[in-house]
A and B are shown apart, each in its own frame.
Chain A
Amino acid sequence: MSTAPKVVVTSEFDEDQLSLVDILDHVLNRGIVIRGSVVISLAGVDLVYLGLDAILTSFETAVRHLQAQPRR
């Protein structure tokens, strides 16, 4: 059983790379936020989520870098 969402109208992007970007976009940035019991907090700022923002930025850079590579 395949449970991954499908690309209905594809662009010329590599599909594996594309769905990974889309999956991370969904799971990291959205979805209900319920404070778990593990929140690393400093001065009222949740470090786990603070870290997430930094990761999103670095991931975006990594994706740009990958896309700048010559295509197969």
Chain B
Amino acid sequence: MEAELKSRVLYFYGVTQSRPEGKLEEPGVGEGKIEAREFEGITCWVSRVAAAEFERDLARNMENLDWLARAGVAHQRAIGAIASQAEILPARFGTIFHNEESLRNHVGGRLRQLKRDFERVKGADEWGVKVFTAKPAAALPQARSGREYLLAKAALLPKTHNSSESQAELSRFAQALERVALASAEGGTISSGQRGLRFQRSLLVKKSDRKKLQSVLARFSRRWAQVRQIECTGPWPPYSFVSHEGGAK
């Protein structure tokens, strides 16, 4: 038993204020069972993972996109499953504790900050909003020469890239979103590389204001038909609206 424990470490998913009654079926990262640890009025969510995979080899594994995709999705699914039962402050991927004592010490030392975070995100979800330049609907015609192909392709490229009119439209959109959100944050760095992306924002929106957000999205979708496409993902646990103080940069 001792030897087995030594080879396992605690993978941390986040903190809730209460422990929900419902059963948690979702497996954790690395297929381990998600467990609750309660102390000082909060509940920490963890599962046991292999130390070799998540400690010794973590840096190398994270360079393996297949591994990263699998573990990253499992992380989000586990947090999503907990979030469906209680409001959670989600942890960043790859937070590991050697043992229960270490978990208590590190999380216990942040209680005041965590309580403030709970107040901030209470009753709200995170939504991701992106605007893309619309892709041409028409397919390239059969071209008889390279020149003809390039001309046809150029004709299909969207014309409104960075005009001041386009910027003004996006500002109007941003303002309309701000009005329905409790807070907003910069979008993520990974998807900032997506082709045609013109605008990206994360929003913290009260659950009771979800319809207002949808109506802003619908209004601008109609207005921008053929020119820009809006994509909205969510509801996410409030990843972008929890504090990062005291952590690594």
Contact = CB atoms under 8 A, between A and B. Distances in A.
Interface of A: 1, 3-13, 18-40, 46-49, 51-52, 55-56, 58-64, 67
B12 A36 contact: yes
Nearest to A4: B80
B150 to A, nearest CB: 17
Interface stretch (B55-63, B166-174, B176-184): B55-63
B63, B95, B110, B128: which has the most chain A beta carbons within 10 Å? B95
A33 B178 CA distance: 26
B16 interface: no
B247 interface: yes
B94 interface: yes
Contacts of A23: 72-73, 76
22 contacts: A3-B84, A4-B76, A8-B214, A9-B217, A9-B231, A11-B231, A22-B233, A30-B240, A31-B239, A32-B14, A32-B90, A32-B92, A33-B244, A33-B246, A34-B91, A35-B246, A38-B96, A38-B98, A48-B58, A49-B248, A51-B59, A64-B193
B239 A26 contact: yes
B62 A30 contact: no
Given A59-B65, A67-B195, A3 B81 contact: yes
B93 to A, nearest CB: 4
A33 B239 contact: no
Contacts, number: 194
Contacts of B54: 38
Contacts of A10: 231
B89 interface: yes
B243 interface: yes
Query: Looking at chain B, what size class is its interface with the partner chain?
Result: 35 or more
A11 B200 CA distance: 14
B242 A31 contact: yes
B85 to A, nearest CB: 10
B227 interface: no
A37 to B, nearest CB: 4
B217 A8 contact: yes
A13 to B, nearest CB: 7
B9 interface: yes
B193 A4 contact: no
Given A1-B84, A34-B106, A59-B65, 5 more contacts: A1-B81, A6-B234, A20-B72, A32-B15, A51-B59
B59 A38 contact: no
B77 interface: yes
A40 B55 CA distance: 9
Contact of A25 (B62, B189, B214): B189
B243 A28 contact: no
